[in-house]
Structure 1
Amino acid sequence: MWSLPGYDVEAMIGFGATGEVWRAREVATGDTVALKRLREGADPTALETLRREATLLRTLVSPHVVRLRGVIGDVLVLDHAPGGSLAALLHRRGCLDAGEVVTIGVAIASALVEAHALGLVHGDVTPANVLFTEQGMPLLADLGVARVAGEVRTGVDGTAEYVDPAVAAGGEPDAAADVWALAAVCHHLLAGTPPHDGDSPDEVLSAAVEGVRVPLAILAGTAPVELVAAIEAGLAQDPQDRPSAMQLRSLLRRAHATAPVQLAAGPAGPSASARETHVVRPLDPVHGGRRRRRLPRQAAPVVALVVLVVVTAGVGWVTGRGQLPSAAAVAAIVPVVAPSPISSPSRALPSSPAGPDWPVVLETLDDARARAFEAADPTLLEGVWSAGSPGLQADIAAARSLALAGRSAHGLRHEVRDVRVEQLTATSARLQVVDVLAAYEVR
């Protein structure tokens, strides 16, 4: 165990290739702090990076950034974040609820707004570099690879899954790259996977450069469409098409209400702390071959949601086994509340005495939507959603992304388990639906 004057060093809570983070108690105040130092044998470049981080932390004072309390020699004294890292939380939970995603996204976007206003680029916004206070407040950490906007370096700094495609192709990190990285983190939180994957950093970066990814609307089919649209905006392939950090923050706020981040109980150990960033080598300008991404054929969890079915003017239904609205007649299925897990849904499909066979209505619309994604043809979605609805816009964007990547989604269907009518009028019906997303494949 090493020692530092004025502090009782207690335990290591994180480490990387060149550095390590220890929990300690300040003798004078009794405060718990985090001590960041280099590991033995670290090269001079690592020392320069550590000192650079200290300088940047003195400049960037924000409630959304881990605070630098002081520097003793080559040891950084930081506020302790006992809630652990977002990476550890993802490892425990797989994905987060929409409200939690907004809470995290807004906080980190706020940190980026302040950094970008000072001309700073973080350069490595990842789940490992988002920490939590005891109350679950998100904090942006690790400015080790941050730089002044416009500064040129060799190599690609950052974690491959969250590297802007423009940077992966050889461009310099800028504010737009931070926005893409944050959107990629939000994608991971909502879908349980980052936008691009691969067996190696090079494969991930190659997929990013090619723009090969499954649309978020497919991976997170029950997520609020406005939230999906906000995240997709940040993931635009062209940096000029992305919102600024401030604009992304506004989009996230408008998309869904925030919710407290539910941190799992238990102390934060080494696995719960932020990993150190690593450097991945730049890709060649031209890439040969093309990876085919195939999703595992696993069904999604059963969920319940409320949908609003709107019938176009002039089209009605009769009671009992009367005439059924067609897919073109039923103009929208719009989620109006967030989905919630259902432990043991009833398999009964009750029919309403004042409406048609609703499971068949929903299956008809779902079949039409599935055909659109099998053909990667956005025009086929017009009979599924009402004109101009957020759902239509999100699905059109998803279908176009598939078409541009030369891919299509097969078997993208929902199995309706339960339908209950909550409200019925002459032109609309409010339904509570329990369904499960069947196994599907993107190829």
Structure 2
Amino acid sequence: METSERTTTTRYAGRHRIVDHTAPSLPGYDVVEPIGEGGTGTVWSAVAPDGSTVAIKVVPAVDADDALVELAVLGRIRDPHLVRLHEATTLPSGDVALVLDHLAGGTVGTVVRTRGHLAPGELVTLLSPVSSTVARLHGLGVVHGDLSPDNVLLDLDGRPFVADLGVARIAGADPAGLRGTEGFVAPEVLAGAVPSAASDVHSLGALAWFCLTGEAPGPAVVRGRLAEHVDGLPDELVETVELALRTRPEERPDADALAVAIFESAPPEPVVLARGSDEVGLLTRRIRAAARPAVVGAGVVGATPHRIAVVARTLLPWVAVAAVVTVVVLGALAWTGSRDDARATTTAGTTAATTPRAPGPDGPGASPDARRSRGGADPRSLVDAPQRDPTALVQALADARSVAWSAGVAARLVEVDAPRSPALARDTEVLAAVQRARQRYVGLAFTVRDAEVVARRGVIVTIRTRIDTGAHVVRGPAGEVARPPAAGAPVLLDVVHTDSGWRVHDVREA
């Protein structure tokens, strides 16, 4: 990819220099027009070889390190509310070009500036998932550093996506003068402190204030109470926003708790988008398709995991969320899908009498890193693993899966599932529902009983396997629930060899 002539005009956004570009040239891509300038580069809309619309962000060489941060984060995590990276190219000039999702709904800043402010229910629809995504970044040790109205993008259905990770920093790294966007920076960062997860939470609170009032919040000593600026706000929402804006970082909630508090503060409402000066009467998908699955007992009949996750997120009260998550997780946890096993669970209020022993360093559930430290090669890295020892390969994938579920960090699913695969999309949705229900899995381990290769279709190898789930504890707001061991039903595991090794592409009934 090359860029043609560039002007020498430069200006600054935060600490990042913006260099004006003429249209970039990338074989196979038809560049259409410039669509904006973010904290780390000029952004153009383009048509990809497959006909889809993408965004191409050209980051100047002087900020190439920031592009590498964005690459590292976007290559590690697949989150339903994080802008997706398609490919990246280093240009001969040293500039870096990132091909990203194009979000045609504009930015939260555009919507608010056009309409004046958002309704409380719209704020819930926007900011609760954004806060959850930020919590996942924090779980990776990544601080965004510039959460602001123009760094939250929208699709045409009103769904929010966190963007501009080029200004992010890895926890413990030199902040190098990072200041973010004026009006949305935590007071301790303005005073010279290192940006942190708590400063991101302050920015989320400032974003909420902006959405509700149309203006960034001023300093605490002069801005007054949120209820003084907007009439009729729910008390819970006012308290949540002001808690996030506390001057002392230790008094703010973490991002995950903020997501839950925002969700519980008001009923979600569809988001009315804006384009230029015209409002677009499109609604979010929060009620579509997922709104009417038939609920039978503790299960959900006729709903895909994606739909169940949407129901759990937007429609059901939190008591019902726990029941839905129990069914979904037990059905998907060990790639078994046994509905009888899913229903064989204690009630959410039962306290476990004993806690099962956590898996030892050599047993099921031991991390792949632990296995490698004992001198054995990770089967996922062996090109001929399915032929050499399919049981060892599936066990390594199952071990990585238990680590992801036990940690409750969706980013760790990249150690199990292939990028942009059906398995990753499904697992991310289900684990997100678990996180929103504030549940954790303690002592979770899987044991592969048998595995054999039964088919090869192009790059996909199909393994028939049975995976048992060991006894473990589900820990949540209502206490601890002991789960007995469960034998796994046969499943077909489609695996594919990626740049990172063997990963799961999909799971099907045997």
- The TM-score range, normalised by the shorter chain, is 0.5 to 0.7
Match of 1:55 in 2: 72
Q: How far is 1:252 from its partner?
A: 0.7
Q: Distance in 1 between matches of 2:145 and 2:180?
A: 6
Are residues 267 and 224 of structure 1, via their aligned partners in 2, closer, same or farther at CA, if it must alter by over 3 Å?
A: closer
Match of 1:216 in 2: 226
**Superposition pairs for residues 21-60 of structure 1, below 5 Å?**
21-27=43-49, 29-38=50-59, 42=60, 44-60=61-77
Q: Alpha-carbon deviations, 1:289-317, whole Å to 9, x = none?
A: xxxxxxxxxxxxxxxxxxxxxxxxxxxxx
TM-score normalised over the length of structure 1: 0.54
Q: How far is 1:16 from its partner?
A: 5.1
Amino acid in structure 1 at the alignment position of 2:135: V
4+ aligned runs moved over 6 Å, structure 1: none
Q: How far is 1:57 from its partner?
A: 1.3
Q: Distance in 2 between matches of 1:79 and 1:267?
A: 24
Q: Distance in 1 between matches of 2:212 and 2:69?
A: 33
Q: Alpha-carbon deviations, 1:203-237, whole Å to 9, x = none?
A: xxxx46xx442211211132111111111111111
Q: How far is 1:144 from its partner?
A: 1.1
Cα pair 1:22 1:34 within 8 Å, conserved: yes
**Higher normalized strand content (fraction of residues):** 2
Are residues 16 and 124 of structure 1, via their aligned partners in 2, closer, same or farther at CA, if it must alter by over 3 Å?
A: closer
Amino acid in structure 2 at the alignment position of 1:232: E
- Which of 82, 102, 110 is the aligned partner of 1:65? 82
Match of 1:256 in 2: 266
Match of 2:244 in 1: 234
Match of 1:348 in 2: none
Q: Distance in 1 between matches of 2:263 and 2:177?
A: 35
Q: How far is 1:15 from its partner?
A: 2.1
Match of 1:157 in 2: 179
Match of 1:85 in 2: 107
Cα pair 1:145 1:157 within 8 Å, conserved: no
**Superposition pairs for residues 5-404 of structure 1, below 5 Å?**
5-15=27-37, 19-27=41-49, 29-38=50-59, 42=60, 44-73=61-90, 74-196=96-218, 207=219, 211-265=221-275
Q: Mind listing any 5+ residue stretches in structure 1 that lack a counterpart? A: 197-206, 269-443
Q: Distance in 2 between matches of 1:217 and 1:61?
A: 37
TM-score normalised over the length of structure 2: 0.47
Cα pair 2:66 2:168 within 8 Å, conserved: no
Q: Distance in 1 between matches of 2:143 and 2:275?
A: 33
Match of 1:324 in 2: none
Q: Distance in 1 between matches of 2:39 and 2:259?
A: 33
Amino acid in structure 2 at the alignment position of 1:148: I
Amino acid in structure 1 at the alignment position of 2:257: Q
Amino acid in structure 2 at the alignment position of 1:118: L
Cα pair 1:156 1:168 within 8 Å, conserved: no
Q: Distance in 1 between matches of 2:178 and 2:145?
A: 10
Cα pair 2:183 2:216 within 8 Å, conserved: yes
Q: Distance in 1 between matches of 2:143 and 2:86?
A: 22
Match of 1:303 in 2: none
Q: Distance in 2 between matches of 1:245 and 1:132?
A: 20
Q: How far is 1:81 from its partner?
A: 0.3
Cα pair 1:195 1:214 within 8 Å, conserved: no
Q: Distance in 2 between matches of 1:182 and 1:18?
A: 20
Are residues 267 and 78 of structure 1, via their aligned partners in 2, closer, same or farther at CA, if it must alter by over 3 Å?
A: farther
Are residues 187 and 266 of structure 1, via their aligned partners in 2, closer, same or farther at CA, if it must alter by over 3 Å?
A: closer
Q: Distance in 1 between matches of 2:68 and 2:174?
A: 19
Q: Alpha-carbon deviations, 1:186-209, whole Å to 9, x = none?
A: 00111221111xxxxxxxxxx46x
Q: Distance in 2 between matches of 1:189 and 1:6?
A: 39
Aligned length: 251
Q: Distance in 2 between matches of 1:215 and 1:188?
A: 13
Q: Distance in 1 between matches of 2:41 and 2:178?
A: 19
